[in-house]
Structure 1
Amino acid sequence: MLIYPLVAALADAFFDASLISSEKSFVGLENIVSAFQSDFGPLLAKTLTFAVPATVLPFAVGLVAALGLNQRMRGRAALRSVLLFPWVLPGVVVSFLWLWIFDANYGVLNGVLRTTGIVDENVGWLQSGPGAMTAVIVARTWASFPWMMVMLLAALQSFPGDVYEAARMDGANSWERFWHVTVPGLAPVAGVVVLLEFIWNFQQFDLLYVLTQGGPAGATTTFSLAVYETAFKGFDLGTAGALGVLWMLVLLPVVVLYLRGTEKER
């Protein structure tokens, strides 16, 4: 269930293989070299352009939310449940929700901006490269910050209270307590959370496919979309397998860092 599909897909990288034909011919590293020279650089750049902000922004929002929910306030449990809502929605539902929000003709965002007088006419958010990339990053941030919030909040609530009290008695102000007590305490959990989120974003498919399908003009085509389109629209399993090999090699060091981090935590 795990090993065979992986090995079979990667093995196609070394063959001239088609989805519509059972015949294969061995070509060695030809597919990998060709994919590396033609597609690797642009795909890596666009994948990182999506994955890095889509990891940093939800982490920042999740950290702020966790710090707020860690304070004593009325309705904290109810607010925590509400903030978890985006995370529990299926990815396709989230994608269609944001597709409706960013729609150029009847989207909620354009409606609000026109009503408030910020814009005079509808804006095609998904019709330009920068706009489409920003849209998918915003949608991913909304969907993924809750789980980061939960992990960071759990770490915050495990801190012994006497540590903060000792820092307060030593004269540390709020910023000094955050920087010298909270940040070092959160660092192990935060590192694992950021690495895991980056891995997920590097492989993100459903959100990108529903919102933009890699467009406009390939501006949001990441490794995941490129492999899908090459294999199932271009019927070229050899090139798709080669992209998969390059994709795996890029992501492998991050996976190793994540595994080392989790083992260190244990």
Structure 2
Amino acid sequence: MAVTQAMAAPPRRSQRSFFPLLLIAPAASLLIAVLIYPLVAALIDAFFESSLLYPEKTFVGFENIVEALTIEFGPLLVTTLTFAVPATLAPFLIGLVAALGLNQRMRGRAALRSVLLFPWVLPGVVVSFLWLWIFDANYGVLNGLLRTAGLIDENIGWLQSGPGAMTAIIVARTWATFPWMMVMLLAALQSFPNDVYEAARMDGANSWQRFWNVTVPGLIPVASVVVLLEFIWNFQQFDLPYVLTQGGPAGATTTFSLAVYETAFKGFDLGMAGALGVLWMLVLLPAVLLYLRGMEREK
């Protein structure tokens, strides 16, 4: 019987080691089907003349990437950075001010915190249509308020000019994303030990000196991660510019994400869309590596 039990033990250990693989199999399958396979397929298409209109593919090497570099890459990079940089810095500054305010003792702080979190919980498409209604030239809320206040005599087409459309997208994105920055910065502020502030007061530091020499250095680790993550997300932003402007007017708000979508599903050119995707990924890769390096350092 002892021999029989010894022979039966290894299958149990094998089953125990196989069971975790069964648990992660559904999530891994979904990840492969939704993320990894489309990414690899798009990268492969970058080296082929490929179209949605016919199944044949012709290998063209780096021709698509060279064409994308010489024709579209520069304007797309400028437009994407024109959106991503202000849409990262503006919500960070607003979130920082809100976090500093909510960190003070005042009545109704919990209720105010809940109200300020409201834009963050809304889906991106809902936010997009909300701001599309606000900026509409004919029946938009913004034009209505300005006309009621007597500041304008006729409606302004906010989304019909390049600078106006880009500003509208940045404003909408700022409104939607400053709450999560506020939450992260507020959590960092509330983790500061009061002893440090008390020691600074005893040394004669005023409010500005305590903020600059105590608060700012303490916020830098969290702030750097928050800003870097927000920049990466903004560099990939799709729903907001697509709903508000569809990349217009005249391509003034066409970012990398919109260009890849339009090239693939409106121009039916999968090869050029894949080439733009490769360049997009290479531009964003340093920011991703910087974020991963920062996370490793914190660990």
TM range (shorter): over 0.9
Show CA shifts across 1:129-152 (max 9, x none).
000000000000000000000000
**Matching residue of 1:208:** 241
Post-superposition offset of 1:263 = 1.8
Matched, 1:60 2:61: no
Matched, 1:167 2:200: yes
In the alignment, the residues of structure 2 paired with residue 150 and residue 235 of structure 1 have an alpha-carbon distance, to the nearest angstrom, of: 42
In the alignment, the residues of structure 1 paired with residue 196 and residue 296 of structure 2 have an alpha-carbon distance, to the nearest angstrom, of: 26
In the alignment, the residues of structure 1 paired with residue 85 and residue 50 of structure 2 have an alpha-carbon distance, to the nearest angstrom, of: 33
Matched, 1:38 2:71: yes
**Matching residue of 2:129:** 96
2:260 to 220, 224, 227: 227
**Matching residue of 1:250:** 283
1:191 to 207, 218, 224: 224
3-state SS in 1 of match to 2:56? strand
In the alignment, the residues of structure 1 paired with residue 44 and residue 108 of structure 2 have an alpha-carbon distance, to the nearest angstrom, of: 55
Post-superposition offset of 1:3 = 2.1
Give TM-score, length-normalised by structure 1: 0.99
Post-superposition offset of 1:265 = 2.1
Matched, 1:79 2:73: no
In the alignment, the residues of structure 2 paired with residue 129 and residue 231 of structure 1 have an alpha-carbon distance, to the nearest angstrom, of: 24
Structure 1's unaligned 5+ residue stretches are none
Counterpart residue type for residue 63 of structure 2: E
1:28 to 61, 76, 86: 61
**Matching residue of 1:176:** 209
**Matching residue of 1:261:** 294
**Matching residue of 2:176:** 143
In the alignment, the residues of structure 2 paired with residue 45 and residue 5 of structure 1 have an alpha-carbon distance, to the nearest angstrom, of: 26
Counterpart residue type for residue 254 of structure 1: A
Percentage of identical aligned residues: 85
Aligned residues: 266
Matched, 1:122 2:126: no
Counterpart residue type for residue 131 of structure 1: G
Counterpart residue type for residue 192 of structure 1: V
Bigger radius of gyration: 2
**Matching residue of 2:39:** 6
In the alignment, the residues of structure 1 paired with residue 141 and residue 297 of structure 2 have an alpha-carbon distance, to the nearest angstrom, of: 46
Counterpart residue type for residue 181 of structure 1: V
Give TM-score, length-normalised by structure 2: 0.88
Post-superposition offset of 1:169 = 0.7
**Matching residue of 1:133:** 166
In the alignment, the residues of structure 1 paired with residue 298 and residue 219 of structure 2 have an alpha-carbon distance, to the nearest angstrom, of: 12
Show CA shifts across 1:202-239 (max 9, x none).
00000000000000000000000000000000000000
Q: Which has the higher contact order (CA 8 A, sep 6+)?
A: 1
In the alignment, the residues of structure 1 paired with residue 63 and residue 119 of structure 2 have an alpha-carbon distance, to the nearest angstrom, of: 44
RMSD: 0.5
Post-superposition offset of 1:42 = 0.1
In the alignment, the residues of structure 2 paired with residue 164 and residue 26 of structure 1 have an alpha-carbon distance, to the nearest angstrom, of: 65
In the alignment, the residues of structure 2 paired with residue 143 and residue 3 of structure 1 have an alpha-carbon distance, to the nearest angstrom, of: 29
Post-superposition offset of 1:19 = 1.0
Structure 2's unaligned 5+ residue stretches are 1-31
In the alignment, the residues of structure 1 paired with residue 54 and residue 117 of structure 2 have an alpha-carbon distance, to the nearest angstrom, of: 46
